[in-house]
């Protein structure tokens, strides 16, 4: 039987896994791009089956408090879930009482989350974390301290405008969560004002139209690429490795995150990328992408240390998909890595992953390294004339390889790079 962990050991533990802290009490450590997430879990026989029961997170709940809570739950006459449910209900009632005194958006949001956790957010993990991250990163900085009655459509636009076009899916979730919390406040009679975050027949007439095709993506100015690459190449985490692949091959972020080793020929130096149609995920053709020399060397080294099927597996979700493949890296992990560079475009907008495609196009257009059509082919854009397209794909791959090698040489022009 494993030894129990001391308080100091709990603080210092970094590796992913379950660690026994006391009888039936375990610390679950989950590796994330931003560090480690630690949760207290109780191993308990319930209805003849051994189950994991979440009781709190570390360091919000100290090891001493976790041991005390575990002891109480194990000695209780009723099932641990019932004890936890009753405790949560008391917390909700307390929050409702406090919210009645101070009805800021933040206080109402915290009450709403506690209420939703009771019947609906089973496991309390991913859903709650996603909500709290949206609130913390986008919403609270603008309206957290405002009275729920005083929130206006201008406040909502201040939250949504910076991300509506650049991170559209994130923006939609942020708007939806604001609307849900205000809807809850209306039901609780904390406010009788119209929902300023309502989309249909309201914000849809104010927010810029987004159709997924003409979206502007803030791009790194191409003359800043060498300096950016010098910084990027020093980073060793997987999310930064994905950024290296994206910036040097101009693929879309999702294509890089979903990449499978089986689609790479690291001898010839190319990647056969399945091109899929829209949201249907139906493969319609293959796009052959040349791998320039330094990126190829990097990929070969990475392959030697990789044992899985994906280049960038999701280390937070280690279970397999229905097809038997590992989960791929989240978009949030990639976006956070890019944000650490604090780079902006010519309009002072923070650069985006998709913008690296524009960086490449602008570089090619300004320096006239190749015809426009060759650049379009490198981006995987479909040519309308099928016969001409087939000819171009078969005859001009080597011109694309030369173009991408010139682009990589430019990207690394600020660095001393030893050859293999």
pLDDT (tens digit per residue) in 340-356: 998 988 778 889 898 89
What topology is assigned to 1-75 in CATH?
A: Double Stranded RNA Binding Domain (3.30.160)
CATH annotation of 222-411:
1.10.443.10
- More reliable by pLDDT, 273 or 349: 273
Instruction: Tell whether pTM > 0.85.
Output: no
Please say if the pLDDT value at position 389 is more than 70: no
Q: How far apart are CA 362 and CA 365, in angstroms?
A: 5
Query: In the chain, what percentage of residues exceed pLDDT 90?
Result: 24
**Are the C-beta atoms of 204 and 343 separated by less than 8 Å?**
no
Chain-wide mean pLDDT for the chain? 78
**Are the C-beta atoms of 273 and 287 separated by less than 8 Å?**
yes
In the chain, where the domains are located? 1-75, 78-215, 222-411
Residue 122's pLDDT band, with cuts at 50, 70 and 90, is very low
Do the two domains 1-75 and 78-215 of this chain adopt the same fold?
no
Q: Hey, what are 10's tokens? A: 């709990």
Q: Give pLDDT, residue 238.
A: 92
Q: Give pLDDT, residue 177.
A: 93
- More reliable by pLDDT, 46 or 162: 162
**353-356 long-range contacts, CB within 8 A, separation 24+:** 353/217, 353/243, 353/246, 353/252, 353/253, 354/215, 354/217, 354/252, 354/253, 355/217, 355/218, 355/219, 355/220, 356/219, 356/220, 356/246, 356/247, 356/250
What topology is assigned to 78-215 in CATH?
A: DNA polymerase; domain 1 (1.10.150)
- More reliable by pLDDT, 261 or 47: 261
């Amino acid at each position: 039987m494993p030894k129990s962990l001391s308080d100091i050991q709990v603080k210092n533990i970094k590796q992913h896994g379950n660690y026994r802290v006391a009888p039936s009490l375990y610390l679950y450590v989950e590796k994330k791009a931003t560090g480690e997430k630690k949760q207290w879990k109780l191993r308990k026989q319930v209805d003849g089956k051994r189950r994991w029961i979440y009781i709190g997170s570390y360091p919000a709940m100290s090891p001493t408090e976790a041991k005390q809570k575990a002891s109480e739950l194990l000695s209780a006459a009723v099932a641990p879930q019932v004890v936890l449910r009753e405790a949560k209900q008391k917390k909700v009632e307390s929050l409702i009482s406090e919210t009645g005194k101070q009805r800021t958006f933040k206080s109402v949001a915290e009450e709403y989350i506690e209420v939703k956790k009771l019947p609906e957010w089973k496991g309390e993990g991913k859903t709650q974390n996603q909500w709290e991250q949206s609130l913390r990163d986008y919403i609270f900085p603008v309206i957290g301290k405002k009275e729920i009655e005083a929130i206006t459509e201008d406040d909502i636009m201040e939250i949504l405008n910076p991300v509506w076009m650049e991170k559209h899916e994130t923006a939609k979730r942020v708007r939806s969560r604001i609307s849900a919390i205000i809807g809850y406040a209306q039901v609780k009679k904390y406010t009788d004002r119209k929902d300023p975050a309502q989309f249909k027949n309201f914000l849809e007439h104010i927010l810029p139209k987004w159709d997924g095709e003409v979206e502007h993506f803030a791009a790194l100015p191409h003359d800043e690429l060498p300096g950016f690459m010098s910084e990027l190449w020093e980073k060793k985490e997987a999310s930064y490795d994905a950024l290296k692949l994206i910036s040097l091959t101009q693929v879309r972020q999702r294509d890089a995150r979903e990449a499978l080793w089986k689609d790479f020929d690291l001898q010839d130096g190319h990647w056969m990328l399945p091109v899929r149609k829209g949201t249907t995920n139906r493969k319609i053709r293959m796009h052959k992408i040349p791998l320039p020399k330094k990126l190829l060397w990097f990929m070969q080294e990475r392959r030697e240390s990789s044992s899985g099927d994906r280049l960038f597996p999701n280390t937070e979700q280690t279970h397999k998909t229905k097809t038997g493949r590992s989960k791929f890296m989240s978009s949030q992990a990639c976006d956070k890595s890019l944000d650490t560079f604090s780079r902006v475009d010519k309009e002072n907008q923070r650069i985006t992953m998709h913008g690296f495609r524009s960086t490449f196009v602008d570089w090619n257009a300004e320096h006239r390294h190749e015809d426009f059509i060759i650049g379009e082919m490198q981006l995987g854009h479909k040519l309308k004339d099928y016969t001409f397209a087939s000819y171009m794909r078969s005859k001009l791959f080597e011109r694309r390889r030369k173009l991408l090698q010139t682009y990589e040489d430019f990207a690394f022009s600020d660095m001393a790079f030893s050859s293999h």
